Amino acid sequence: MDQRSLTLLAVLFWVVLALSLVCILWMFFSLARQGDERRKAILTRACCHTFYTVVVLLVLGVAESLFRSLTGADYPSVEFNALILLALVAVLYTVNLFWCTRKMGG
């Protein structure tokens, strides 16, 4: 790789990291903010959709680990990094929150 492509990758990394941080902060602020019953229903629906998605992701990870241990498969496993999982949850929550807000009227 030349210097220009490495610089582009570094910039892309920092942009993704910054967007993830914004989504994480948005998630915590939206959960802490008070509101009426409609807002609480929107937050509940967004949290449930995000929770279901994360549970499916974790179950797939457990199934993959179980499969590897039972079959003795020798291929690289996918490890969950806590920061990447937090960023994924924050992005999923933000998308679900915007979608539920638009669907339920916001």
- The answer on pLDDT for 75 being more than 90 is no
Quote the number of domains for the chain: 1
CB atoms within 10 A of CB 61: 15
Domain that holds residue 15: 3-104
Identify which of 92, 103, 31 has the alpha carbon closest to the alpha carbon of residue 57.
92
Whole-number average pLDDT of the chain: 84
pLDDT digits (tens, 9 = 90+) for 18-56: 888 888 888 888 777 777 888 888 888 988 999 999 999
pLDDT at residue 1, as a whole number: 67
- The answer on pLDDT for 106 being more than 70 is no
